[in-house]
Amino acid sequence: MTTAMTERDEEKADENTVQEASPIAPKLIWEIIRRDGEEEMARPWRSLVWSGIAAGVLISLSVLGEAIFRTYLPDAPSSYLIENMGYSLGFMAVILGRMQLFTENTITTVLPVMVSRSWGSFASMMRLWAIVLAANVIGAFAVASLFVFTPALPADIMVSVVDLSHHATGMGASTGFWRAIPAGLIVALLVWMLPQADGQGFLLILAFTWLIAAGDFTHIVAGSVEMAVLMLMGELPAVQALTGFFLPVLAGNIIGGTAIFSLMAWGQVRDELPDS
C-alpha cells in the first residue's frame, strides 16, 4: 500500500514538473489577455485618465534616456545601437508600472471585442481608446512643457532632445505611417509574450522596445513627447504636427497592433475557443 502511494505521489510530482516546464498554450495566453482587456474596459474613466496621463509623462523617459546616451556617447558607429537602449526606459516604467499606454490597448482591448462581437463591447473599446490616447497626449505635453519652459534639462541634453524630435516628426506622413506598422506589431507581440515571461519581462521589454528605436520605427505616444517639444518651441505648426505626424503614426500603430497581430492571434486560436 505504501509503495503504491509512493509511486502515485512520484507520478503526480513528475506530472506537475512537466506542466510547470511546459509553455503556456496560445489559447490560454489569449484568455489571459482577453480578461485583462475586459477589466481595463470596466475601469472608471477617472482611473483611466490619471493612469493615461502618468503613462504619457513617464514615456518621456524613452526620449530622455536616448538623448542622454546621444549626448555623452563617443561619436562611433556602434554608439547608435547603445544609444537606442535608452528608448526602453520609458516603456519599462509604463508597462511594469501597469499604466495605460495606448498602443498596448490595440491588442488588449480588441480581444474581448473579437470574442463578443457586440456593439456594446466595441463601444467600450472605443471609449477606452479615446480616453487613454487623450490622456497620453496630455501627459506628453505636460512633460514637454517641463523640458521647454524650465531649466529641468541641461542645455546639452536638451539639444539632443530637439535633434531626436526633429528626426521623429520630420520623416514625412507616408514614411511615418509605414514605420508605425512594425512598431504597433512589436508592442502587440510584447503584450502577447509577457504572460509567459516567467519573471523575464524586464528583458523582453528591453529587447523589443530597443528594436523599435534601433529600427527607426515610429510610436504614437513616445513620438507625441517629441512632437510636443517642437510645437511648444514654435518649430512645428499644429496642422503639420497633426497631419504629417500624429494621424499617420496613429493609424500605422493601430494597423500593426490590431489589424495584423490581433487577427493573426485570432487565427491560431479561434478553433480552440468555445463558441468560436
7 assigned to some structural domain: no
214 assigned to some structural domain: yes
**Cβ within 8 Å of residue 263, ≥6 positions away:** none
> Count of domains in the chain?
1
Separation between Cα atoms, residue 272 and residue 241, nearest integer Å:
44
Half-sphere exposure of residue 31: CA atoms within 13 angstroms, side-chain side = 8
| Banded model confidence at residue 22, pLDDT cuts 50, 70, 90 | low
188: domain CATH number?
A: 1.20.1080.10
Closest CA to 106 of 14, 221, 268, 237: 221
User: pLDDT by residue (tens digit) across 92-122?
Assistant: 999 988 888 888 877 788 888 877 778 888 8
User: pLDDT by residue (tens digit) across 123-146?
Assistant: 888 999 999 999 999 999 999 999
Domain range enclosing 181: 26-271
Closest CA to 132 of 48, 10, 249: 48
2 assigned to some structural domain: no
33 assigned to some structural domain: yes
Separation between Cα atoms, residue 20 and residue 86, nearest integer Å:
34
Q: pTM score, two decimals?
A: 0.84
142 assigned to some structural domain: yes
Separation between Cα atoms, residue 73 and residue 206, nearest integer Å:
19
5 assigned to some structural domain: no
How far is CA 83 from each of CA 95, 152, 226, rounded to the nearest angstrom?
A: 21, 21, 16
188 assigned to some structural domain: yes
Separation between Cα atoms, residue 233 and residue 237, nearest integer Å:
10
| Banded model confidence at residue 15, pLDDT cuts 50, 70, 90 | very low
3 assigned to some structural domain: no
- Is a pLDDT exceeding 70 seen at residue 47? yes
Separation between Cα atoms, residue 52 and residue 140, nearest integer Å:
10
